[in-house]
Chains A and B, each alone.
Chain A
Amino acid sequence: MCGIVGLHLKNPDLQPRLGELLTQMLEAMTTRGPDSAGIAVYADRDPAPAGNEAGPGPGQPGQHSQPGQELRYSLRSDETIDWDLLAKRIAAETGRDLRVEPLGSDSAVFVSSAAETSFLAAVRRAAPQVTVPGFGRSMVVVKDVGAPAAICARYGIPGWGGYQGIGHTRMATESAVTTAHSHPFAPAADLALVHNGSFSNYATVRGRLARQGIRCDTDNDSEVAARLVAARMAEGADLADGLRAVLKEMDGFFTLLVTTRTQFAVIRDSFACKPAVIAETPDYVAMASEYHALAGLPGITGARVFEPMPEEIHVWSR
């Protein structure tokens, strides 16, 4: 069992409350998996208003970023680290200035306009103990071992604003309980995936991806699904097609909630073995493993509440 939650806001007035609502939803799912938890939050950080941005085109979510574009890297280290010193080394190595936004004692967000591959390589060289749970133009990812309430409080998630967020609370079945094995898995810019269930053929798919040069950071089954979606999207697939690839190539039980910079998508396996409830109002789309995670949302009594059917792909875009 695991618990997954997500909130995709349509009404901008709710954006200051995103972190608060997401925290409350995730805490309600603690009983489904108390061993580790994580969250991905998307906020408009560019000066340009969201409505004026170009739609998905060459800079499609999940694909490599444009050269010169600022990306936000969520960094995490279990060992004590001097983030400012690390920032100087990475800036020197990539030849690009970078800004540091502290995030609790063990994490930081680095904002850099360096190319994604050169930034990630610089981190690996400068500080191999530092992991990058996620990166993108809009997305910040935090995850940790422990209960959702403690993790959300430690990073101050209730105070975070944003237009979309997803969360996961884990009861490990397929791999170890560590920060790296926690969800979300966010292997490409602004792409995040949370999974309730278990895949059975993930080693086979992981091998297939490895032969295409795609490497997993962990031995976790859900990471393979995230890498598969990212690989298909890098080839030009849209999010729905990326999820169709999971249906086609991966065996097992899954309810997946997957987000990009502009999209929010839910899919269940062919037997709908794992639960999923969606609530939609004019103000938001909310998804959770169980209804009681949604019960505290504003206007929930007037929401259209439904369960996605097996193999249906539900996508919302902003």
Chain B
Amino acid sequence: MEPVILSCAELSTREINAALAALPDGASARVLEPRGRHNLAVGLSNRARIDIEGNAGYFIGGLGDGPDVVVHGFTGWSVGENLQAGSVRVEGNASECAGASSRGGTIVIEGDASSRAGISLKGGTILVGGNVGHMSGFMAQAGVMLIGGDAGDALGDSLYEAVIYVAGTIASLGSDARIEELTESDVRAVKALAELGGASFGHVQPENVTRVASARGLYNFDALKDQKY
């Protein structure tokens, strides 16, 4: 089946999203000339394939529950925010808050992600081929992140049960985040994640990544801690 062609030069964001939502499962669409447009391919629950042919704005593929969205360019803030299922792939870089609060599905950033990638992650998978900025994985509750490059300051601050794997260096760990020993099951998991990520993760050596998880020191309020309260 030929892909449906939708151009941002001619259509409003609502018109594009309505047309995308009307696609039957298995259909595909190409969104042309995004020129930084926000909120494209948001809130879709079909199993369609959507190609965004250029640089896009904020919240691309957000709230998705099934579709596979590919951005052939870079994206602004909060790509794949609150993703439930399906995937969002960005072939360039992504700005801040990539995959924020996502509950499921897979977000792949082939380039770099900026600060706060995976903030409040609730079960999704976030794969970043390059670097991530400061405070990535902040308060991440569940799910997994693989960072192919380096992580900025305060990685995994106030982590709950999400796990972050880093192939490069870590500028600093956030409060209550700690480096843990890599197990065989971690290595298998990282290998599978790198394969899922594709060519941009070819440099990742699963047995050499760093595992970051919660030290769980903030799980319980300690009324006597340092007698400061």
Residues A272 and B133 in contact, CB atoms below 8 Å apart:
yes
- Taking the closest CB of chain B, its distance from the CB of A314, in whole angstroms, is 16
Chain A interfacial residues counted at CB < 8 A: 15
Does A310 reach chain B (CB closer than 8 Å)?
yes
Does A249 reach chain B (CB closer than 8 Å)?
no
Q: Mark B117-154, 1 if CB is under 8 A from A, else 0.
A: 00000000000000001110000000000000000000
A203–B104 Cα distance when bound, in Å, is 45
Q: Which residues of chain A from 226 to 277 have a CB within 8 Å of any chain B CB?
A: 271-272, 275, 277
Q: Which residues of chain A from 260 to 305 have a CB within 8 Å of any chain B CB?
A: 271-272, 275, 277, 290-296, 305
Contact of B133 among A290, A295, A309 (CB under 8 A): A309
Residues B95 and A275 in contact, CB atoms below 8 Å apart:
yes
Residues A295 and B76 in contact, CB atoms below 8 Å apart:
no
Residues of chain A within 8 A of B77, CB atoms compared: 275
Contact of B35 among A271, A272, A295, A307 (CB under 8 A): A295
Tell me if B's interface is mostly helix, strand, loop or mixed.
Answer: loop
Residues of chain B within 8 A of A271, CB atoms compared: 115, 134-135
A158–B136 Cα distance when bound, in Å, is 42
Residues A307 and B95 in contact, CB atoms below 8 Å apart:
yes
Residues B36 and A307 in contact, CB atoms below 8 Å apart:
no
User: How many interface residues does chain B have, given as a range?
Assistant: 10 to 19
Contact A291 B55, CB 8 Å, known A305-B74, A307-B95, A307-B114:
yes
Residues B37 and A292 in contact, CB atoms below 8 Å apart:
yes
Residues of chain B within 8 A of A291, CB atoms compared: 36, 55, 57, 74, 76
Q: Which residue of B lies closest to A291 (CB)?
A: B36
- Taking the closest CB of chain A, its distance from the CB of B117, in whole angstroms, is 13
Q: Which residue of B lies closest to A295 (CB)?
A: B35
Does B165 reach chain A (CB closer than 8 Å)?
no
- Taking the closest CB of chain A, its distance from the CB of B42, in whole angstroms, is 16
Does B91 reach chain A (CB closer than 8 Å)?
no
Contact of B36 among A272, A294, A309, A310 (CB under 8 A): A294
- Taking the closest CB of chain A, its distance from the CB of B19, in whole angstroms, is 20
Residues B36 and A295 in contact, CB atoms below 8 Å apart:
yes
Residues B133 and A292 in contact, CB atoms below 8 Å apart:
no
Residues of chain A within 8 A of B58, CB atoms compared: 290
- Taking the closest CB of chain A, its distance from the CB of B98, in whole angstroms, is 13
Does B96 reach chain A (CB closer than 8 Å)?
yes
Residues A272 and B96 in contact, CB atoms below 8 Å apart:
yes
A188–B133 Cα distance when bound, in Å, is 36
Residues of chain B within 8 A of A290, CB atoms compared: 36, 38, 57-58, 76
Residues of chain B within 8 A of A272, CB atoms compared: 96, 114-115, 133-134
A295–B56 Cα distance when bound, in Å, is 10
Contact A295 B55, CB 8 Å, known A272-B133, A275-B77, A305-B74:
yes
Residues of chain B within 8 A of A309, CB atoms compared: 133
Q: Which residue of B lies closest to A276 (CB)?
A: B95
Residues of chain B within 8 A of A277, CB atoms compared: 95
Q: Mark B20-50, 1 if CB is under 8 A from A, else 0.
A: 0000000000000001111000000000000
Q: Mark A69-108, 1 if CB is under 8 A from B, else 0.
A: 0000000000000000000000000000000000000000
A296–B115 Cα distance when bound, in Å, is 26
Q: Mark B82-107, 1 if CB is under 8 A from A, else 0.
A: 00000000000001100000000000
A294–B76 Cα distance when bound, in Å, is 13
Residues A292 and B35 in contact, CB atoms below 8 Å apart:
yes
- Taking the closest CB of chain A, its distance from the CB of B193, in whole angstroms, is 26
Residues A296 and B57 in contact, CB atoms below 8 Å apart:
no
Residues B36 and A292 in contact, CB atoms below 8 Å apart:
yes
Residues of chain B within 8 A of A275, CB atoms compared: 76-77, 95-96
A293–B37 Cα distance when bound, in Å, is 10
- Taking the closest CB of chain B, its distance from the CB of A308, in whole angstroms, is 11
Residues of chain A within 8 A of B74, CB atoms compared: 291, 305
A58–B154 Cα distance when bound, in Å, is 44
A226–B77 Cα distance when bound, in Å, is 28
Q: Which residues of chain A from 93 to 140 have a CB within 8 Å of any chain B CB?
A: none
Q: Which residue of B lies closest to A28 (CB)?
A: B36
Q: Which residue of B lies closest to A306 (CB)?
A: B93
- Taking the closest CB of chain A, its distance from the CB of B101, in whole angstroms, is 18
Residues of chain B within 8 A of A292, CB atoms compared: 35-38, 57
Residues A296 and B35 in contact, CB atoms below 8 Å apart:
yes
Q: Which residue of A lies closest to B37 (CB)?
A: A292
A277–B58 Cα distance when bound, in Å, is 13
A277–B77 Cα distance when bound, in Å, is 11
Given pairs A290-B38, A290-B57, 7 additional interface contacts (CB within 8 A): A271-B134, A275-B96, A290-B36, A291-B76, A292-B37, A293-B36, A309-B133
A-side interface residues toward B, CB under 8 Å? 271-272, 275, 277, 290-296, 305, 307, 309-310
| Those 8 A-B pairs whose CB atoms lie nearest each other, nearest first | A292-B36, A295-B35, A291-B36, A295-B36, A272-B115, A292-B57, A292-B35, A307-B114
Can you name 10 A-B residue pairings with CB atoms under 8 Å? A272-B114, A272-B115, A275-B95, A277-B95, A290-B58, A291-B36, A291-B76, A292-B38, A294-B36, A296-B35
